[in-house]
Amino acid sequence: MRGELGPDAVSTADATLGRYGEHTLPSPDNRPAAVLYPASTADVQRIVLAANRHKVQLFPISTGQNIGLGSKSPMCSGQIVVDLGRHMNKVLEVNETLGYCEVEPGVSFQSLYDELNKRGSRLMMSPTAGPPQGSLLGNALDKGGGGGAAADHFGSVCGMEVVLGSGDLIRTGDGSLEAAEHLNWHVSKYSFGPALDGLFTQSNYGIVTRAGIWLMLRPPHIEPFFFSAADDDDLDEVIELVRPLKQTNFVPTQIRVTNDLYLIAAAESNPEYAATGGRKQISDEARRALQHKHGLGAWNISGALFGASKQAVAPQIDRLRAHFTKSSKIRYIPPEEAQAVAPLDIARKNYLGMPSDGELRMLNWRPGGGTAWFLPGMPMNGQIAHQMQKHSREICRQHGLEYMVSNVCGPRFARGVHTLVFNRSDPDEAARADQCYRALAASYAERGVFVGRAPTMYQQFHQEQRMPGIVQACDAIKRALDPNGVIAPGKYGMR
Ligand SMILES: Cc1cc2nc3c(=O)[nH]c(=O)nc-3n(C[C@H](O)[C@H](O)[C@H](O)COP(=O)(O)OP(=O)(O)OC[C@H]3O[C@@H](n4cnc5c(N)ncnc54)[C@H](O)[C@@H]3O)c2cc1C
């Protein structure tokens, strides 16, 4: 590869391999054998063809900011990381009229935000609450989500260029025509034949080298709103009140219903950790004191309204207040108050379309930098939501970990983003975090509740939870598109 791509396109330096092997999960690092830095689609093809010739395993990353899910590290030690982000990081097009951009894998939320600002664009993107250096494309391929009305990131992708495991190049959708230009590639979702784009999400069938991503015309005014509910048991009522707001699309953004500790962890570390040696979940008294200190409730509701001006949305805010305060448990948090509460200000920026690294501070809730994300979901039914929160809270308590969750609510379904923060340098605590993840996953699966995304170390485990027919179908597609199994064998349980 040094010969074909140039000496700087390959690194086997000790420090580099160490850095690319690191992750935050409760298992040892996975040190790659090398890191490759392609500069073009043609380079990616060369790498994949060489991997086929030499039967070596590749692990592609865009920017590798998948913190809590595997970071930059491959499925196992010895795979070769293909870091697309270092050189393939261009915004290839911003189409102001039709509202999309075409990007390479290395374009991050921050770099697109800066690029749109630089161009004085009227368009806005949907950032995640995670690392601003995360890749738009990498996040969409892992079915990530963000703030704003375009929160479904894979749903915003339209038309991809992909190097298959065989080394063949394809363009999906209207890009599949052999033509000098592709007028509809990034605007038409439903083209001729099967929609292949989904095959490249959470899979190991190919390496995506560019894609179209839809952007939204920035509304003249965005008004984030915040409410809180006092008690853990209020979740039932909260979900029943949120659902109609989404089913009528009165609130155009996702509505987040986030618990106390998920937010507070971004502001300070666990005050009881040292006293319990990290073996016990924080006490309810300490949790109450923290809620009081930060002006937050047991549950905290946020979203945003769009309108012509602040005055224009004021009547809608009044309607929201009347709606939520039908429950005596729910309190309105005025904007000036919300802005002074650091964790709510992180959410405010997210709804305004601004990347922010504020939420990353939650990794300091306990020492040792460990975090694993458990991502089940629930129907938008208050009673079920209430049962689930009690269930998750109890399993976390049994393993001496805090229950931290943000429910990202749509009209019918909410993704329950659970963050397990633990001390990765304490083997006992890391083992408890691992057991906690597995206990949560096994018990939710009994009710037919699956995860939407998984940390690399649990992908095989989750694939084994599925019906055999699906597993066989996934493996058959793998053999067809990547006959020598060179792209990330084991990823999402597919070999
Ligand atoms: C505090 C915190 C908050 C977070 N908040 C959010 C949030 O709000 N929403 C959210 O979605 N996530 C969130 N995350 C998770 C994660 O950090 C982001 O999803 C991040 O954007 C993913 O990293 P990335 O975009 O750099 O993708 P990468 O790490 O580059 O890739 C992600 C996955 O896609 C695969 N992949 C990447 N590029 C390609 C390619 N070109 N071809 C084929 N496969 C590819 C990789 O193999 C990997 O499996 C959060 C994490 C933390 C720690």
Looking at the CA of residue 105, tell me the nearest atom of ligand 1: 41
Give pLDDT, residue 456.
98
Give pLDDT, residue 292.
97
Q: How many CB atoms lie within 10 A of CB 387?
A: 15
d(CA 312, CA 455): 43
The mean per-residue pLDDT over the stretch 392-397 comes to 98
151 Cα: distance to centroid of ligand 1 (angstroms): 14
d(CA 258, CA 362): 14
Please indicate whether residue 130, judged by its CB atom, sits closer than 6 Å to ligand 1: yes
Please indicate whether residue 493, judged by its CB atom, sits closer than 6 Å to ligand 1: no
Q: Which of 19, 65, 87, 406 to mutate to test the pocket of ligand 1 (most atoms within 8 A of CB)?
A: 65
Type of residue found at 183: L
pLDDT band of 149, cuts 50, 70, 90 = confident
Separation of CA 326 from chain center: 33
Give pLDDT, residue 148.
79
- Quick one: which H or E segment has residue 47? helix 41-54
Domains 91-217 and 221-456 fall in the same CATH topology: no
Please indicate whether residue 207, judged by its CB atom, sits closer than 6 Å to ligand 1: yes
Architecture of the structural domain at 91-217: 2-Layer Sandwich (3.30)
The one-character DSSP state at 152 is B
Please indicate whether residue 356, judged by its CB atom, sits closer than 6 Å to ligand 1: no
Give residue-wise pLDDT tens across range 171-208. Answer: 999 999 999 999 999 999 999 999 999 999 999 999 99
Q: Whose CA is nearest to atom 29 of ligand 1?
A: 64
208 Cα: distance to centroid of ligand 1 (angstroms): 14
Q: How many CB atoms lie within 10 A of CB 99?
A: 18
Query: Exposure pattern of 35-72 as b/e (b: 16+ CB <10 Å)?
Result: bbbbeebebbbbbbbbbbeeebbbbbbbbbbbbbbbbb
Please indicate whether residue 67, judged by its CB atom, sits closer than 6 Å to ligand 1: yes
Give pLDDT, residue 438.
98
176 Cα: distance to centroid of ligand 1 (angstroms): 27
Query: Exposure pattern of 395-411 as b/e (b: 16+ CB <10 Å)?
Result: bbeebbbbbbbbbbbbe
pLDDT band of 476, cuts 50, 70, 90 = very high
What is the three-class DSSP state of 147?
A: coil
pLDDT band of 80, cuts 50, 70, 90 = very high
Sign for the CA dihedral angle at 418, 423, 428, 431 comes to positive
Assign 3-class secondary structure to 255-290.
Answer: EEEEEHHHHHCCCCCCCCHHHHCCCCCCCHHHHHHH
The mean per-residue pLDDT over the stretch 469-489 comes to 98
Give residue-wise pLDDT tens across range 122-144. Answer: 999 999 999 999 999 999 999 99
425 Cα: distance to centroid of ligand 1 (angstroms): 24
Average pLDDT score over the chain: 97
415 Cα: distance to centroid of ligand 1 (angstroms): 16
287 Cα: distance to centroid of ligand 1 (angstroms): 30
The mean per-residue pLDDT over the stretch 99-118 comes to 98
Q: Where are the domains of the chain?
A: 91-217, 221-456
Give residue-wise pLDDT tens across range 413-441. Answer: 999 999 999 999 999 999 999 999 999 99
The fold adopted by the segment(s) 221-456 is: Vanillyl-alcohol Oxidase; Chain A, domain 3 (3.40.462)
Give residue-wise pLDDT tens across range 222-258. Answer: 999 999 999 999 999 999 999 999 999 999 999 999 9
69 Cα: distance to centroid of ligand 1 (angstroms): 8
Reply yes or no on whether the pLDDT at 147 is more than 90.
Answer: no
Give pLDDT, residue 495.
87
Proportion of the chain above pLDDT 70, given as a percent: 100
The one-character DSSP state at 363 is G
Reply yes or no on whether the pLDDT at 96 is more than 90.
Answer: yes
The mean per-residue pLDDT over the stretch 380-385 comes to 98
